[in-house]
Structure 1
Amino acid sequence: MSSIPAGTDDAPAPRPAEVRSPLSDGQWHRLHPLTPLFRGGLVLVIVAGVVISNLRDRLVEFFLPSVVPGLDPDDVEDFEQNSGDPIDFILANNLLLWALLALLVVVLVLIGIFYLMWRFHTFRITGDDVEVRQGVLFRSHRRAPLDRVQGVNLTRPMIARLFGMAKLEVVGAGLDANVKLEYLSTANAETVRADILRLASGVQLAEADAAAPGRHASAASVVSAGITGLIVGAEDPAAEPESVVHIPVGRLIGSHVLSGTTVSLLVTIAVIVVGAIVGTPWLLFAMIPTAITFAAVWVRSITKSLRYSIAPTASGVRITFGLFTTITETLPPGRVHGVEVSQPLLWRAKGWWAIRVNRLSGRSATDGQADQFATVLPVGTLDDVERVLRLLLPGFDEADWPAVFAHGLLGPVEADPFTNTPRRARLLRPLSWRRNGFVLAEGALLLRRGFVWRKLAIFPLARVQSVGITQGPVDRMLSVANVRAHTILGPVDGSLGIIDRAAALELFADAEAAAVRAAAGDRSHRWAGAPQHPPIAVAAPITAGETEA
């Protein structure tokens, strides 16, 4: 990696006491030299190989007579008619030197293209922004302001891990606002990520006592470290705390077996079998692609959740997941806009739950990885849920936790604090009217829904944008209303229907005033010097009868 003079677009450099990596000095730097290969060059080489393999006859016919002097056209015609192997043709006509020369030209052209791509792809980290410039013919310049950073993700695809490389993604506050640094060495990626989060927090640290590790390592040690990482897991810094949740592989597989997708597959297979028995045997052939597709999706979803870990750090909550492609994301404080704890009916006997969040990911809703970044607990017990919620909601009032667990997740029970659907409107919520309700806690709005599929949504008031009320004609007849907490787009739904009209109006006024107070006192965008997460410990079980997998 090399440095480039700043030029005319100088920006304030971070103070040396704030950063630890030499790449965070405010100057322009180039990425890892193998970046062009892993950003698409490998695909280009594969495509070129496929094209040459399928069009070899045409290539020999087109290039050889014009390039090689004295080549007999009858020999080329014989090759075309017999469809011989190009290697045999080259050896038979003493064209080995020309073939090696052509191969050398192709290699040099590829190296030249990759060099230009690497040469014009630079980045810098200043005291205000993370910037990336790239492109040879069509130039682009992306900037992520540090005060708008929503998180920093570190991704290590399997092949890149073998070469000791990783890519960083700085998550911005907007659609397609992310800035990617792909690729850096794993050691550089870790230190640069820590510098970005430290600068975004506003903290000022003393210069590191220990020198940074050397940049150059032998190829054997790099590949060995990559293989070790593939087996053991993410190479986290030694100072990082241990995960507060551990998901057994059996529980992870069981959660997929007891999922709605598996039930849908079994129903589909049953329908196909019945149709084949009744008189359409060819329907059995439809089971093959259906089973293959399901198996691929099933295995992929499991491998994405393997090696899951979640732990508190000085820069926020650190979440790691993925077997082949390992992703480590750091979610700074105050970046969670909504939390939802859910439990499908088939998980109830095991006492399993899942947690998803609304957060700015910089990705569109159609991006396949958007939902992956929204899941912070794929499957866990009630104790696991409590540990994760205490990480995600560190400012939640201790007196309100019973409203989350005893009443919100497992309730309703006696002395239920939730305002639920009135009895007169129970026909509109025939199964869940006793659970369908809300409570405005200190600093958060809790929405409880579902009888078959239990859900509890928690919205920190400092992140709530607005609260809306709607009524339809039937709602007006029954004097009920629907409320909705508006936050950023995400899987956590902020709507709650069929609430008493007077209670909805009271919530509208109270939530508005509470949200204004919470936003005025919120300082989470600058978390430097804020109290660290306390040790996560679960005392006595919250309820009896929960099973541990």
Structure 2
Amino acid sequence: MQEPDAAKDVAASGAAAGAPVLRERRLHPVTPLRRAWAPVAVIAGWAVHDPDQAQRQLTRLTTTTLLAVLAAAVLGAALYGFLSWWFTHFAVTDTELRIRTGLVFRRTAHIRLERLQAVDVTQPLLARVAGVAKLKLDVVGADKKDELAYLGQEEARSLRAELLARAAGFAPETAHEVGEAPARRLLHVPAGVLAVSLLLTGATWATLAAALVVPPLLWFATHSVWTVLATALPLLGAAGASSVGRFVGEYDWTVGESPDGLRIDHGLLDRAHETVPPGRVQTVRVVEPLLWRRRGWVRVELDVAGSANSVLVPVAPREVAESVIARVLPGVAVPAALARPPRRAGRCVPFWWRGYGLAVTDTVFVARHGLLRRRTALVPHAKVQSVRLEQGPWQRHQGLADVRVDTGANKTVTARLRDASEAAELLYAQADRSLTGRQEALPDRWMA
């Protein structure tokens, strides 16, 4: 599809005479097709909410009236989509990305460039067919991502490169000339390995078994079709999401390293081009399902402050995964052995206490839990926000305590059932290590 000339020059709103002209741009012309669905969705929602009333209203209409109503609905949806596109503009200033939207109620979003921590390019299936892309912006302190949907593919990539260059401190005059930073491939997950890993995931088979066993039992117990459907459909959906859905979403998973962070490309139908910003990773988790251990496979997940990016490596050999972790957390190595709690911890959590472990190195706080699905969490000392010691009545009687470490991603990593004296010593030592780590940490910076 040919790229449109969507840019226009307008005077900055409220600017004084002689003020510089602000170059505003519009979204891609296919955007109205996306937004035109909003009125249709409202009508469909009303029909689903009250189907009897909707059916009564339809039976009262003649064929001519029904066609006229449909034509009016189509024209109204098209007009809504066009006007919402026409009154949406964006511009990049020296300090911010400004997005103006709204016909009746105007909204202007001011996104400070220095607060940008990631700019992702995503392409749903229909967007790939149309040759457009969506730009998602991760901003520090924002609950959800702002987005520009849709832009031409080349325009989206060039705008992403310009925003990252300006966030890195390049002058506005030269930022658009920097271009996209080169990336070096670190990892690629073959489709066959991904498929086998999903087949060896216990949750997939457990959900599928429940979807096949529970509905027949409900049928014999209730003989109600609606009860069976209300139970079977969510179970089948969960089974599909944990197997087929994950395969489609994690297909062709590629991790590359560039000056603006780690880049992640993935997706069979919907393609996503995501960025793990440097210095924003709060926790790294190494996940080892039971059936993966014989093959030496692991999954690596992330907690990133202010971001929804949660997967770094869907499946890979441990050595490869640890090499990628070393790029996310420079100077950090995953400990080979972790110390178990004392044996009396079995009086608090029988059998499962064997899955708990703890290690503290010069750079990270490491805690492990789980026997069937082992999870090892690594928290850099500089990312620890607070440390707590918790001790219930039975734990106090057994001389045990939990040490909880809170991170900047509003998540907690817990070292379970440690000896009480060890936990008290760990509490104060970890507080000192966290303070020292923050003082010695390098500043987070794009394109360093």
Q: TM-score with structure 1 length normalisation? A: 0.68
SS of the residue corresponding to residue 445 of structure 1 reads: strand
Instruction: Kindly indicate whether residue 183 of structure 2 is the aligned counterpart of residue 240 of structure 1.
Output: yes
Q: Deviations over 1:262-291 (max 9, x none)?
A: 3323543675599599x7696997796477
Aligned length: 427
Matches within 5 A, 1:165-244: 165-203=132-170, 207=174, 239-242=182-185, 244=186
Instruction: Kindly indicate whether residue 413 of structure 2 is the aligned counterpart of residue 494 of structure 1.
Output: yes
CA 276–118 in structure 1, closer or farther in 2 if over 3 Å, else same: closer
RMSD: 3.8
- In 1, the alpha carbon distance for the partners of 2:100 and 2:176 equals 32
Greater mean deviation of Cα atoms: 51-60 or 307-316: 51-60
- The one-letter amino acid paired with 2:434 is A
Q: Tell me the residue number matched to 2:201.
A: 259
Pairwise CA distance, 1:391 = 2.1
Pairwise CA distance, 1:328 = 1.1
**Any conservation in 1 of the 2:191–2:251 contact (CA below 8 Å)?**
yes
Q: Tell me the residue number matched to 1:376.
A: 312
- The one-letter amino acid paired with 1:452 is L
Q: Which has the higher contact order (CA 8 A, sep 6+)?
A: 1
- In 2, the alpha carbon distance for the partners of 1:154 and 1:252 equals 23
- In 1, the alpha carbon distance for the partners of 2:100 and 2:211 equals 52
- In 1, the alpha carbon distance for the partners of 2:427 and 2:44 equals 64
Q: Deviations over 1:132-183 (max 9, x none)?
A: 1211112222222223223112111111112221111111223534221111
Matches within 5 A, 1:15-94: 27-38=23-34, 40-42=35-37, 44=39, 55=58, 58=61, 60=63, 62=65
Instruction: Kindly indicate whether residue 320 of structure 2 is the aligned counterpart of residue 317 of structure 1.
Output: no
Q: Tell me the residue number matched to 1:463.
A: 383
- In 2, the alpha carbon distance for the partners of 1:474 and 1:359 equals 35
Q: Tell me the residue number matched to 2:426.
A: 507
Q: Deviations over 1:475-504 (max 9, x none)?
A: 2222221111101456x6511211112222
CA 280–450 in structure 1, closer or farther in 2 if over 3 Å, else same: closer
CA 203–513 in structure 1, closer or farther in 2 if over 3 Å, else same: farther
Q: Tell me the residue number matched to 2:83.
A: 116
**Any conservation in 2 of the 1:167–1:180 contact (CA below 8 Å)?**
yes
Instruction: Kindly indicate whether residue 114 of structure 2 is the aligned counterpart of residue 160 of structure 1.
Output: no
Matches within 5 A, 1:449-488: 449-488=369-408
- In 1, the alpha carbon distance for the partners of 2:312 and 2:386 equals 25
**Any conservation in 1 of the 2:208–2:235 contact (CA below 8 Å)?**
no
Q: Tell me the residue number matched to 2:297.
A: 352
Q: Deviations over 1:320-374 (max 9, x none)?
A: 1211111111122111111110111122222221111111345xxxxxxx4xx31
Pairwise CA distance, 1:301 = 2.0
More strand as a share of residues: 2
- In 1, the alpha carbon distance for the partners of 2:218 and 2:105 equals 57
Structure number with larger C-alpha Rg: 1
Pairwise CA distance, 1:261 = 2.5
Q: Tell me the residue number matched to 1:2.
A: 7
- In 1, the alpha carbon distance for the partners of 2:182 and 2:199 equals 37
Instruction: Kindly indicate whether residue 347 of structure 2 is the aligned counterpart of residue 427 of structure 1.
Output: yes
- In 1, the alpha carbon distance for the partners of 2:345 and 2:88 equals 62
SS of the residue corresponding to residue 366 of structure 2 reads: strand
Pairwise CA distance, 1:116 = 2.2
- In 2, the alpha carbon distance for the partners of 1:256 and 1:320 equals 19
- In 1, the alpha carbon distance for the partners of 2:126 and 2:215 equals 42
**Any conservation in 2 of the 1:122–1:134 contact (CA below 8 Å)?**
yes
Matches within 5 A, 1:396-435: 396=332, 401=333, 404-407=334-337, 418-431=338-351, 433=353
Instruction: Kindly indicate whether residue 432 of structure 2 is the aligned counterpart of residue 523 of structure 1.
Output: no
Q: Deviations over 1:76-134 (max 9, x none)?
A: xxxxxxxxxx7xxxxxxxxxxxx9xx96x877655543332122211222333222121
Q: TM-score with structure 2 length normalisation? A: 0.82
Q: Deviations over 1:31-66 (max 9, x none)?
A: 22222322x214656888999999597264559xxx
